Amino acid sequence: MSTTSTEHGEREAQYIDLAAYQDPETLDRLELLARAARETLRTTPAGISDLSTGTVRLDKVDEAPADQLDDEAGVLEVLDEREGWNLRRLVPESLTDMGVWRQRRAEWVNASAFHALRSPVYLWRAANVAALGARVGVRDAWSYVFATEYGDIADKVRRTKAGPEHIADLRADRRKEARARRREPLTVYSLTGCSTYLGAVLALGETWGWIMAAPVLLPVFGILYALGRREMIRREPDGTFAIADAVDFTGAGVLTDEGLNTALRARSVGILKDDESVTVLGFIAREPGDRASVVRFELPRESGKTAAEVGAKRKAIAAALAVDSIQLSIRQDGHEGSVYMRVADAHPFGGEPVASPLATAEQWDIWDGAPTFVDETGRITAIELLFFGLLVGAMPRQGKTFTARAAAAAAILDPLCRVIVADGKGGKDWAATALLAEAYVRGVTEPAVRRLTHVLEDLVKEMEAAYDALFELPDEVCPEGKITPEIVRDYKVFPCVLIIDELQRYLENQGKENEDDKLTYGKRIEEALETLAKVGPAAGLIPILASQKPTGDAVPSAIRDAIPQRIAHLCATYQMSDSILGTGSSASGWNAKELAPAFKGMGIHADETGLRFIRSLLIKLPAFRVICERGRSLRIAAGTLAGEAAGQSGRAARVGGILADLLAVFEDNKLPERLATADILDGLAQLDPSTWAPAALGVGEEDRAAYVQTGGTELRKALDTALDGTGRSLASRGWSKGGRANGYYLDDLRQAAGIV
């Protein structure tokens, strides 16, 4: 231990040698860890070593064993500068990024195709320039050989009205100069060469054919083209001349820096001014699969523009790039002025729908999400159903049932996930789920709506019981107050998927339980759903709701707002689209009304991360039945098959036997507050005549009193046996004068069944 002092003698700091307090084994272990860390560091870009870097050692050379002087002792452990070299640090990123190389290849391929298609135009232009060169060449040669410039001088002298002797002198000089030029070696050689070349071409054409002679004319064509190009430049010295056009990648899906800036400067876009440009971060690259160009860029800070403004102009930018708006993806990437853009080469959802991988999966874990759709990159996406749920909305026949089915398949294949289904359409779309669902409601008839009402109200009570169970768990087991995989496995608090298709049909129902009820079935369903959607997720309640008309007058906003994950297929109006995706989504460029109806299952997905285009995975009815059969087998093997799928009537999940039969009798009588023992026995006799019919109890059918007395006694015995060890009981009660036991109350039965 040592200290340091200031110049005034005050103690400033204290150094403690922690190594002195460690045992030798601990020191050896720390040294090994330090060595491993140094070796790992050498392999990273930050670990590039040179002769000036190393690890300081505190060992003293004279105290170290002689056999360890080389690698254990010393003042400085010098690293070999050749170790840890990272070539990626030395080579420019543009040469090592495969995405950049794919982008270059796409540019080369598209440029080659562009020029190839325009090659006839280029050939015509070159021919015109060569023709101009021929004219200019003949003119200049004639002018040189015959000294025509003297003729121009003579014309000027004539205009000055000079004497004829001057004109005669000029003509004499011209003839003299012309003869001299024609005798020059250059002129003679040129004429000889041209005539020889022409004779050779004629001979070759006559001998081998004019097609074979055509390549021989290329040098002449090149010379004439050069003469014509020089003449065009002479005529327009400030102009630009090029045979080939600048490559235009517009519509090809290949994005370039110039194309990006041009699109953002377009009048309809107005993101950039004429003198502004974006800053591309890195390089424009092609994503794996070579189907799209991706770029990250920053907007000019002085412009004050944001990524949200760029996203709102998605359709205008797509028009400037000459692509369909579905091919363009824009989102914020980092700060407000940083943008990620993806431009696909073609419509990302063309071709046949992609089959769901769950069609062949033997089992699934709901905690791994639910494969529901493919995104614009073609990747299958598994959405999180737990704690989020799903709301699907669309016009009729636009794929909302397929989307809900794809998401529900994940829950069906999880044997620890409960399933409740209500199909307001009443068709065969969800019929296969009856094989495993604790409750399956089909159609919107009065019994079906009444049934769903009680199912949801019972589910609210089950949710409250689940919260009570979570409340009793230690914080170490339930740290966030919601279910976990361990709680599901060890404490049997199972997640429950509530699937309701054509939800609006149930909410529109105006029927009542009886005339004294204040609320209609539709209102009771709405209140129960609102409670489940708002409060249920932490207890494992997962709503999957589908509606043709998810606007406020059909599906209340309180229910919609409680489900953060939504999918909108083709909608009739932008208001309907906003009601699903969120207010203002259409103004931001995400409008399900504008989706292409030709691509069934195409939609827009919205969650807490933003919005994106998707196409639902496909599960046809035969495949869906196979999935449901597999889900039933999984639940039988796990011992979790319950409710109606297990032959239990009513909502008595995990309750069977006499309790389920009693609930069925109450349901057959439209769930009255109470039922007399005689009526209950009549109902049980219809369900199971071999046990509860008068003959089975050993009494005559005409002796009603004996039947009620004997049957009542057997019923009490059956109930006592069923409830033995549960801590619950069920006894008959009286409601008539005299205190006699007349029968059983529905609330008592539900409490005994454990569903309240």
| Helices (H), ranges, 337-419 | 400-412
403 lies in the same domain as 511: yes
Residue 114, token pair as written in the block = 């562009």
C-alpha to C-alpha distance for 78 and 76, rounded to whole angstroms: 6
**Overall average pLDDT of the 591-596 stretch:** 78
182 lies in the same domain as 325: no
* Position 235 confidence tier, pLDDT thresholds 50, 70, 90: confident
At 656, phi and psi to the nearest 5? -130, -160
Residue 615, token pair as written in the block = 């196409």
745 lies in the same domain as 660: yes
721 lies in the same domain as 583: no
Of 275, 269, 251, give the one whose Cα is nearest residue 311: 269
Between 64 and 358, the more confident residue is 358
**Residue that finishes a domain, picked among 611, 637, 663:** 637
Between 654 and 727, the more confident residue is 727
- Is 522 in contact with 508 (CB distance < 8 Å)? yes
241: in domain: no
Query: Residue type at 128?
Result: N
- Supply the pLDDT for residue 290: 67
- Is 496 in contact with 408 (CB distance < 8 Å)? no
- Supply the pLDDT for residue 44: 52
Query: By mean pLDDT, which of 202-206, 493-497, 744-748 is the weakest?
Result: 202-206
Q: Could you give the maximum distance between any two Cα atoms of the chain, in Å? A: 161
Of 284, 290, 332, give the one whose Cα is nearest residue 309: 332
- Is 630 in contact with 359 (CB distance < 8 Å)? no
In this predicted model, what pLDDT tens digit does every residue of 660-686 receive, in sequence order?
A: 788 888 877 877 888 999 899 988 888
In this predicted model, what pLDDT tens digit does every residue of 66-92 receive, in sequence order?
A: 444 444 444 444 444 444 455 555 556
What long-range pairs does 109-118 form, CB within 8 A, spacing at least 24?
110/247, 110/249, 110/252, 110/254, 111/247, 114/247, 114/248, 115/244, 115/247, 118/244, 118/245
All residues at 6 or more sequence positions from 449 whose CB lies less than 8 Å from its CB, including other chains: 506, 509, 511, 521, 522, 525
* Position 544 confidence tier, pLDDT thresholds 50, 70, 90: very high
* Position 654 confidence tier, pLDDT thresholds 50, 70, 90: very low
452: in domain: yes
- Is 737 in contact with 748 (CB distance < 8 Å)? no
Query: Residue type at 746?
Result: L
Query: Residue type at 136?
Result: V
- Supply the pLDDT for residue 405: 92
C-alpha to C-alpha distance for 675 and 745, rounded to whole angstroms: 7
- Supply the pLDDT for residue 71: 45
**Overall average pLDDT of the 178-185 stretch:** 78
- Supply the pLDDT for residue 552: 60
Residue 487, token pair as written in the block = 């709680």
In this predicted model, what pLDDT tens digit does every residue of 3-21 receive, in sequence order?
A: 444 444 444 445 455 566 5
DSSP conformation class of 355: B
- Supply the pLDDT for residue 739: 57
* Position 239 confidence tier, pLDDT thresholds 50, 70, 90: low
Residue 87, token pair as written in the block = 């070539």
Residue 21, token pair as written in the block = 């307090």
402 lies in the same domain as 521: yes
555 lies in the same domain as 420: yes
* Position 632 confidence tier, pLDDT thresholds 50, 70, 90: very high
256 lies in the same domain as 333: yes
- Supply the pLDDT for residue 645: 82
- Supply the pLDDT for residue 602: 85
| Helices (H), ranges, 431-495 | 446-472, 485-491
Residue for token pair 């320039």: 129
**Overall average pLDDT of the 185-191 stretch:** 77
* Position 251 confidence tier, pLDDT thresholds 50, 70, 90: low
Residue span of the structural domain in which 32 resides: 16-88
Buried b (16+ CB within 10 A) or exposed e, 71-108: eebbeeeebeeeebeeeeeeeeeeeeeebbebbeebbe
| Highest-scoring range by mean pLDDT, 32-46, 263-277, 541-555, 733-747 | 263-277
621 lies in the same domain as 657: no
Query: By mean pLDDT, which of 86-90, 242-246, 741-745 is the weakest?
Result: 86-90
C-alpha to C-alpha distance for 697 and 712, rounded to whole angstroms: 11
* Position 280 confidence tier, pLDDT thresholds 50, 70, 90: confident
**Overall average pLDDT of the 361-389 stretch:** 88
- Is 436 in contact with 645 (CB distance < 8 Å)? yes
Residue for token pair 């608090």: 493
Query: By mean pLDDT, which of 317-326, 403-412, 495-504, 622-631 is the weakest?
Result: 317-326
Q: How many helices (H) and strands (E) does the chain have?
A: 27, 21
**Overall average pLDDT of the 355-370 stretch:** 90
- Please report the beta strands in 548-638, taking only residues with DSSP state E, as ranges in sequence order: 566-568, 602-607, 610-616
Q: Report in angstroms the alpha-carbon separations of 193 from 197, 200, 753.
A: 6, 10, 114
Provide the number of structural domains found in the chain: 5
- Supply the pLDDT for residue 556: 79
- Supply the pLDDT for residue 183: 80
323: in domain: yes
- Supply the pLDDT for residue 23: 66
175 lies in the same domain as 304: no
Q: How many CB atoms lie within 10 A of CB 745?
A: 18
Between 737 and 275, the more confident residue is 275
Task: State the burial class of residue 70 (Cβ atoms within 10 Å of its Cβ: 0-12, 13-18, 19+).
Answer: exposed
C-alpha to C-alpha distance for 527 and 420, rounded to whole angstroms: 18
Average pLDDT value over all residues in the chain: 78
- Supply the pLDDT for residue 97: 67
Residue 736, token pair as written in the block = 């008539």
In this predicted model, what pLDDT tens digit does every residue of 690-710 receive, in sequence order?
A: 788 888 888 887 888 888 888
**Residue that finishes a domain, picked among 88, 109, 134:** 88
Residue 217, token pair as written in the block = 């004319």
289 lies in the same domain as 408: no
* Position 408 confidence tier, pLDDT thresholds 50, 70, 90: very high
All residues at 6 or more sequence positions from 741 whose CB lies less than 8 Å from its CB, including other chains: 677, 712, 731, 732, 733, 734
556 lies in the same domain as 594: yes
Answer yes or no: is pLDDT of 607 > 80: yes
Map 58-126 to HEC letters.
Answer: CCCHHHCCHHHCCCCCCCEEECCCCCCCCHHHHCCHHHHCHHHHHHHHHHHHHHHHHHHHCHHHHHHHH
Question: 3-state DSSP: the chain helix, strand, coil percent, rounded to 5?
Answer: 50, 15, 35
**Residue that finishes a domain, picked among 346, 379, 395:** 346
- Is 483 in contact with 387 (CB distance < 8 Å)? no
167: in domain: yes
Answer yes or no: is pLDDT of 625 > 70: yes
| Highest-scoring range by mean pLDDT, 76-90, 345-359, 652-666 | 345-359
Residue 534, token pair as written in the block = 């708002």
192: in domain: yes
Buried b (16+ CB within 10 A) or exposed e, 516-526: eeeebbbbbbb
CA angle 450, 455, 459 (to 5 degrees): 150
441: in domain: yes
382: in domain: no
CA angle 242, 248, 252 (to 5 degrees): 155
Return the percentage of the chain with pLDDT > 70, whole number. 80
Q: Report in angstroms the alpha-carbon separations of 117 from 17, 244, 467.
A: 78, 11, 70
130: in domain: yes
**Overall average pLDDT of the 517-525 stretch:** 83
Between 64 and 362, the more confident residue is 362
We report the CATH number of the domain holding residue 440 as 3.40.50.300
445 lies in the same domain as 592: yes
In this predicted model, what pLDDT tens digit does every residue of 86-132 receive, in sequence order?
A: 555 555 666 666 777 777 777 777 778 777 887 888 888 888 888 88
